[in-house]
Structure 1
Amino acid sequence: MPMRRREFIVGLGGAAAWPGAVLGQQPNQARRIGVLMQGSETEPDYRSYLAAFVQGLRQLGWIEGQSLRIDVRWSAGDAKLARAYSAELIGLMPDVILAATTLNLTMIHEATSTVPVVFVAVADPVKQGFVASIRQPAGNLTGFSLFEFSLGSKWIYLLKDVMPDLMRVAVMFNPDASPQAKFFMAVIEVEAPSLGVQVIPMPVRAFADIEPALASFAGQPNNALILPPDPFLTLHISLIADLVGRYRLPAIGSIPNFARYGGLMAYGNTVKLADQFRQAATYVDRILKGSKPSDLPVQGADIYGLIINLKTAKALGITVPLVVSGQADEVIE
């Protein structure tokens, strides 16, 4: 895949590409921010996250094209792109970098130990070794976490609650795009024996791997699927929801849209990512004004919600117990 080397200046309505020559005419006093985004620049949701970040900066007095220059790269859940763009952004000598998701933060972290970095949508940064502690991050990283690894136990228990005869659970993840997957797997594997459930890793590294993996696993009775947070899976979540429906495979995901697209359940953080990007602007502002990342505590997002698609449950022949549906924040019928 060829690298896109365009530089972006972002307006309130979204990400608009400006010619490189115009960007080169920024005043000397302009500060520079590098942004490594998850997903693709063609996805409206991801563009809205970036717009929220820029809007937050504007509300704090930073104007793109005047006091601020923003260089944006999109990794699209691809580890090779994330690594290449991390090096490219560091080479632009930014004053601070915004890194979205664990994959992008991992690559940025490998590329620099000195440039200040603010992260968003990262699972348990202490457990993953990005920061020393929540209150005192130390080093050059701080930001906003999104998931706790203990979610792994909730997913498997929810599946067992709606499928008492559950025997096998596959956990789909892209090992290249999801460095945090091993932590979720560890939690799930600890809980599974007490429930009489076998855990099966389902690594997928490319779009073409998804359907064959699901088709092979779905052929056995009493099977279910877990989809942990993974930028690659998120990029294809609509397709995955369609496929688990086609292969009649009960599944639970970590993002709300999985259940809304037709998956059986979704349980995860209900914080809007746009809000985290907007909050990240306050940390970037403070760093540009002289604060150190080590002085800014990591902020967590601990609001979780359950969505159950009863229409999908009916199609799968699953009767969701009232004690489970009663816990749901949203029920799709």
Structure 2
Amino acid sequence: MKRREFIGLIGGASVTWPLVRPLAAHAQQVPIIGLLGANSSSSQGKWTEAFVQRLREVGWIEGSTVAIHARWAEGQSERYAEIAAEFVRMKVSIIVTSGGSAVMAAKRSTTDIPIVFATAGDPVVNGLVASLARPGGNATGLSIQSPELAGKRLELLREVIPGLRRLAFMINVDSPVALPEDGGVKAAASALGLEVDRLEIRRPEDIALAFASLKDDVGALYVLAEPLTTSNGSQIAALSRAARLPTMFGNEANIRVGGLMSYAPRFSDLWRRAADYVNKILRGAKPGDLPVEQPTKFDLVVNLKTAKALGIELPPTLLARADEVIE
């Protein structure tokens, strides 16, 4: 299936892959994967495509040997519990999701259905697993220790803006990753001699208001990576350009819609690895016995078109280190 066809297939807010029974005399219903998309289908499409492709590679073909039911929360936290409850009523075989709030909603909805998270902040701190090595319970997957990345991201911003003195930090204060990353940003900023202004958001409507409150001497913006800011990445990128504000994001999806720069794990790889967890669980493994993994590869992605719109000339040394340059 071509990528455009796939994204078109998953593009609706509530999409169901067909449920197909194997052609056998005493065939049983194929396993059902409930995919709780915390973001929008457009922003998450590339990652979900990687997940489905990996499932195919290990023998699970949507509409044939497995059914996939996708629901998209569009970064609206109240939708997570609704979708998770729907999957429980449907008696899906496994729930796959990402982002701390969505994973926690799934975890609260069931202690029986296996849960695989493609990304989560610190699953031990959030109570999702007992430990990384022995998760216990019904959930496992991939952990992203975002606070440890704050220092690297601020160093990259300082490299682009050598005279940076004041930084704005856009943070969804309702996100479970907010508190630890807030601490990471504060510590890294203090080490670099930067002042930090918090732009607190909870809903999409708060984003424009946060930009309107910016102080005149703010020289750059750091955006907390979580479903609300990812689903509304186009708006944040457009407002950043209008304010001529260089912005650091926590995933490459925001850069593909006009953001300047991101330094983050390769999310499509994390979703491929999530498919490996699903494969093992569908073949009999218990999620509590599968250790939580952490990313080993981090990508620097920059958008040259946005840099030109901001009047910024990105340092050649930074461009040489970039894993992807969008022109």
Equivalent of 1:77 in 72, 75, 78 = 75
> Contact between 1:12 and 1:55, CA under 8 Å: does it hold in 2?
no
Are residues 1:216 and 2:213 paired? yes
1:9-88 equivalences in 2 (<5 Å): 14-15=9-10, 28-41=28-41, 43=42, 46-65=44-63, 67-88=65-86
Cα drift, residue 168 of structure 1: 2.2
For 2:37 and 2:157, the matched residues in 1 are separated by: 32
Measured at CA, do residues 50 and 331 of structure 1 come closer, stay the same or move farther in structure 2, by a change above 3 Å? closer
| Matching residue's letter, 1:285 | N
Kindly report which structure 2 residues correspond to 1:1-333, keeping only aligned pairs within 5 A, or say none.
14-15=9-10, 28-41=28-41, 43=42, 46-65=44-63, 67-146=65-144, 148-176=146-174, 178-217=175-214, 219-269=215-265, 271-273=266-268, 275-309=269-303, 312-313=306-307, 316=310, 320-321=314-315, 324-331=318-325
Structure 1 SS opposite 2:74: coil
Task: Write the distance in 2 (CA, Å) between the matches of 1:60 and 1:13.
Answer: 24
Structure 1 position 263, deviation (Å): 3.5
Q: Give the gaps of 5 or more residues in structure 2.
A: none
SS at match of 1:248: coil
Q: Is the 8 A contact 1:14 1:48 kept in 2?
A: no
Between 1:48-57 and 1:192-201, the stretch displaced more is 48-57
**Partners of 2:118 and 2:188 in 1: CA distance:** 28
Q: Per-residue displacement from partner, 1:132-191 (whole Å, max 9, x unpaired)?
A: 333222221111234532111122222233334333222113334x32122111111122
Kindly provide the amino acid, as one letter, of the partner of residue 141 in structure 2: G
Structure 1 residues 62 and 317 mapped into 2: Cα distance closer, same or farther (>3 Å)? Answer: closer
CA drift of 1:88 comes to: 1.7
Q: Are the counterparts in 1 of residues 173 and 200 from structure 2 also a CA contact under 8 Å?
A: yes
2:148–2:184: 8 Å Cα contact kept in structure 1?
Answer: yes
Q: Deviations over 1:254-308 (max 9, x none)?
A: 2234445443422222x242x4333323322221222111221222222112234
Out of 182-191 and 121-130, give the one that drifted further.
121-130
- 1:3 corresponds to which residue? none
Amino acid at match of 2:133: R
Amino acid at match of 2:206: D
What is the Cα deviation at residue 107 of structure 1? 0.7
2:147 match: secondary structure: coil
CA contact (8 A) 2:264 2:298 kept: yes
For the residues of structure 2 that align with 1:315 and 1:11, how far apart are their CA atoms? 32
| Richer in strand (by share) | 1
Change (3 A) 1:249 1:292: same
Q: In structure 1, the residue corresponding to 2:143 is in which secondary structure?
A: strand
Identity within the alignment, %? 37
Kindly tell me: are residues 329 and 95 of structure 1, through their superposed partners in 2, closer, same or farther at Cα, counting changes over 3 Å? closer
The SS at the match of 1:86 is helix
Distance 1:164 1:56, change over 3 A: closer
Task: Report if aligned partners of 1:37, 1:75 keep a CA contact under 8 Å in 2.
Answer: yes
- Tell me the distance in 2 between the aligned counterparts of 1:163 and 1:246: 18
Letter in 1 for 2:227: P
Deviation at 1:79, TM superposition (A): 0.7
The residue identity in structure 1 corresponding to 2:249 is G
Are the structure 2 counterparts of residues 171 and 64 from structure 1 closer, same or farther at C-alpha, using a change threshold of 3 Å?
Answer: same
Check conservation: 1:13, 1:51, Cα contact below 8 A: no
Q: State the distance in 2 between where 1:162 and 1:315 align.
A: 15
- Matches of 1:30 and 1:332, distance apart in 2: 41
Which residue number corresponds to residue 7 of structure 1? Answer: none
Q: 25-34 or 206-215: which moved more?
A: 25-34
Q: 1:30 to 1:12 in 2, by over 3 A?
A: farther
Distance apart, 1:108 and its partner CA: 0.7
The CA distance in 1 between the partners of 2:319 and 2:272, in whole Å, is: 33
Report how far residue 76 of structure 1 moved. Answer: 1.3
Letter in 2 for 1:145: S
Residues in 2 aligned to 1:299 and 1:144: alpha-carbon distance in whole angstroms: 5
Structure 1 residue 25 displacement after superposition: 8.5
- C-alpha separation in 2, matches of 1:19 and 1:145: 27
**Alignment gaps of 5+ in structure 1:** 1-9
Contact 1:33–1:95 under 8 Å retained in 2? yes
Match of 1:198, as an amino acid?
E
Assess, with a 3 A threshold, how the Cα gap between structure 1 residues 316 and 72 changes in structure 2: closer, same or farther: closer
Q: Is the 8 A contact 2:263 2:301 kept in 1?
A: yes
Relative to structure 1, the CA distance from residue 30 to residue 16 in structure 2 (aligned partners, 3 Å threshold; closer, same or farther) is: farther
2:118 alignment partner, SS class: strand
Is residue 223–residue 249 contact of structure 2 (8 Å, CA) maintained in 1? yes
